[in-house]
Homo-oligomer: A and B are copies of this chain.
Amino acid sequence: MQRTAVIDLGSNTSRLVIYEHDPGRNFRLVDEVREVVRLREGMGASQTLRAAAIDRALHALKMYRVLCDAVGVDELIATATSAVRDATNRDSFIARVQAEAGISLRLLSGEEEGYYGALGAINGVGICDGFVVDMGGGSAQVVEVRNGEPARAHSARLGALHIAETYLGFDAGKPGAVKKLTQQVRELLENEFAWFKAYDGAELAAIGGTVRNLASIAQAEDNYPLDSVDRYILAGSDVTGLGNRLWQMSAEERRKLNGLQVDRADIIHAGALVYSLLLEHSGFDRIIVSQQGLREGLFYEKFLAGQARPVISDLRELSPLSMARNFRQDTRHTQHVAKLCLRMFDDLQELHRLADAFRQLLWAAALIHDIGVSIGYDSHHLYSSYIVLNSLLPGYTPRERVLIGLLARYHRSRGTPKAGEFASLFEPGDEDALTVLAGILRICEYLERGRRQVIPDVRCHFDRELGWVQIEALADGDARMELWDAGRNVGLLAAGLGMEVEIVEGVWAANGVSAIDTDP
C-alpha cells in the first residue's frame, strides 16, 4: 500500500488529505486536516497577497508538512489555485513555501484546475459526455468531457464570492443589481462559453461548495433520505427557484435555511443566480452533483498512473471491488458467491425478467455482502447495509446504492425487503426485484457456507406451469452442509418468484466444464 498526500490551497480554505492505496485496485482516505486561511483577504484590486494572509497560509502548510512526515507519506502533491494565481507577489510566496515549509507548490492554471476537478467528477459520478462545472469563490471553470475524458476547459471570474462582492452585496440584493448581473453574465457566457451547450447524450456535473449547498437545501426541502449529496440530481427548476428566491432574502434569513452551511449564507444567493444562468445558457435541465473534485482528481492521476489515461475504465466494476478489498474480504469466497448469483440470475431470466442493470447490482451486493463482519458477526447484514449507505460508491446512483445496501441487508435473517424510508428513491418494481435478487443472493451465500467453493456451479431448471424451480447444485465433494443450509433458505426466492424452489445435488465433474476462475 502506498500513501499519497494532496494539499489544496484554495482562496478561502486549505486542506490536506492522505490516501492509502494499492494503485489501480483500491484506496481509502486515512487522514484529513482543514484550515481556513482566507488567502484573498485584503487583496483588493491590486491583487497582492497580504502579510497576514501569507502567514496564515505558511503556518498551515508547515503543519501539513509535519503531519505528513509524522504519519509517513510516499508522495506529496501540493497545489494552489486562483488566489495565488492572481497574485502579483505569487513568486515570492511560492519560494517561501518551498523554503519554510519544504513544499513544492504547483500553481494550477484555470484550465488545469478545471481539468483536475473534472477528473475527480468523472471518476466519481462516471459521466461520459458533457460538461463539469466547478464554482469556487473567485472563479468558475467549465470543462468539456468527451468519451469519459476532460477536454477543453475555460475559467472565468464567476465565483460566488466575487459575484456577491461585485454585484449583489452579502445581504439581500436589489432588483437592479440582479438585472445588471444577469445581463453581464449572459454576455460573458455568450462570448467565452459558446461551446457550453447541451446536446443529445450530454450530462452536466458540478463540483464545489456552492452546488453542494444548493443540493443540500433542495434535499432538506424534499426530505431526501440519504445523508450525502454525491450523485444527487439537482433539478433545473430547483436551481432556478433558488436563484430567484435567495437574493431576496436577508443573510439572516438565509442563515436559517435547512441544509445550508451557515458560513455560506452571505454568498450562496450569488452562486444560485450564476448556476441558474449557466443552465439557461447551456440548456441543461439538471445537474449531477459530485462530491469528488479537485483533490480527488489530483489523487486519481497517481492512483491510475499505470494506465493509459487517468480515468477508471469501468467505475461500476472497480467501486465494489475496491470496497471489498478495503474491508479485506475473502475474495475467493465473495467472488464465488457473485459468480453463482450471476449464473442463477441468467438461468432464471425468463421468470424474473429483470433488466441487466439489476444483474450488476446483484454482482456488487455479492462482493460486499459480508463487509459488516468488520463490525461484528451478529447482525452483520445490518452492518454491511449501514456501511454501504454511509459510503461513496462511485459510478452508482443513490437509488442503486440503496438497492445494493438492502440486498446486503437481506442476504440473511428474516423478513422481505421493503423500501421503507427510501421509498422516494425507488422506481416501480424495485421492491419486487429486491425480493428476487436477495432471494438469489441468500441461496448462493448458503451454497458457499463453508467458504470452500465445494459447489463450483449451479444450473436452474423450472416449469412455469407446474410452478417449480429446481436449483441443481453441482457439487465437487461433500456438499451436504451447503445443500442443507441453502435448502432451508429458499423461502425468499420462492416468495419473489411466486413459485416453489427446491435444491438438488448435482455432480460437478460429470459436467466436464473447466475449472472456474475465482481469482480477483
Q: Name A residues whose Cβ lies closer than 8 Å to a Cβ of B.
A: 28-33, 59, 62-63, 66-67, 70-71, 373-379, 382-383, 386-387, 390-391, 449-452, 454, 478, 480-481, 484-485
In the complex, chain B residues whose CB is within 8 Å of the CB of A71: 450-451
The answer to whether B377 touches A29, judged by C-beta atoms less than 8 angstroms apart, is yes
In the complex, residue of chain B having the shortest beta-carbon distance to the beta carbon of A454: B70
A-B contact pairs, 26 of them (CB 8 A): A28-B377, A29-B376, A29-B377, A29-B378, A30-B377, A32-B377, A62-B480, A63-B480, A63-B481, A63-B484, A63-B485, A66-B478, A67-B450, A67-B481, A70-B449, A70-B450, A70-B452, A71-B451, A374-B374, A374-B375, A375-B391, A376-B387, A376-B390, A376-B391, A382-B390, A383-B390
Bound Cα distance from A70 to B390, whole angstroms? 33
Bound Cα distance from A53 to B373, whole angstroms? 34
The answer to whether A377 touches B31, judged by C-beta atoms less than 8 angstroms apart, is yes
The answer to whether B70 touches A451, judged by C-beta atoms less than 8 angstroms apart, is yes
Chain B: minimal CB distance from A360 (Å) = 23
Chain B: minimal CB distance from A38 (Å) = 15
Bound Cα distance from A325 to B484, whole angstroms? 35
In the complex, chain B residues whose CB is within 8 Å of the CB of A386: 386
In the complex, residue of chain B having the shortest beta-carbon distance to the beta carbon of A382: B390
In the complex, residue of chain B having the shortest beta-carbon distance to the beta carbon of A326: B376
Closest 4 CB pairs of A and B: A70-B450, A66-B481, A29-B377, A63-B481
In the complex, chain B residues whose CB is within 8 Å of the CB of A480: 62-63, 66
The answer to whether B32 touches A70, judged by C-beta atoms less than 8 angstroms apart, is no
Chain B: minimal CB distance from A460 (Å) = 24
Bound Cα distance from A479 to B281, whole angstroms? 53
In the complex, chain B residues whose CB is within 8 Å of the CB of A66: 450, 478, 480-481
The answer to whether B376 touches A28, judged by C-beta atoms less than 8 angstroms apart, is yes
Bound Cα distance from A375 to B390, whole angstroms? 9
Bound Cα distance from A373 to B481, whole angstroms? 36
In the complex, chain B residues whose CB is within 8 Å of the CB of A452: 70
In the complex, chain B residues whose CB is within 8 Å of the CB of A387: 375-376
Bound Cα distance from A67 to B67, whole angstroms? 47
In the complex, chain B residues whose CB is within 8 Å of the CB of A451: 70-71
User: Given A30-B377, A376-B391, 12 other A-B contacts at CB below 8 A?
Assistant: A29-B376, A31-B377, A32-B377, A63-B484, A66-B481, A67-B481, A70-B452, A70-B481, A374-B375, A375-B390, A375-B391, A376-B390
In the complex, chain B residues whose CB is within 8 Å of the CB of A62: 480
Chain B: minimal CB distance from A121 (Å) = 18
The answer to whether B485 touches A33, judged by C-beta atoms less than 8 angstroms apart, is yes
In the complex, chain B residues whose CB is within 8 Å of the CB of A382: 390
Chain B: minimal CB distance from A446 (Å) = 10
Bound Cα distance from A386 to B387, whole angstroms? 11
Out of B67, B373, B378, B454, name the residue touching A449 (CB < 8 Å): B67
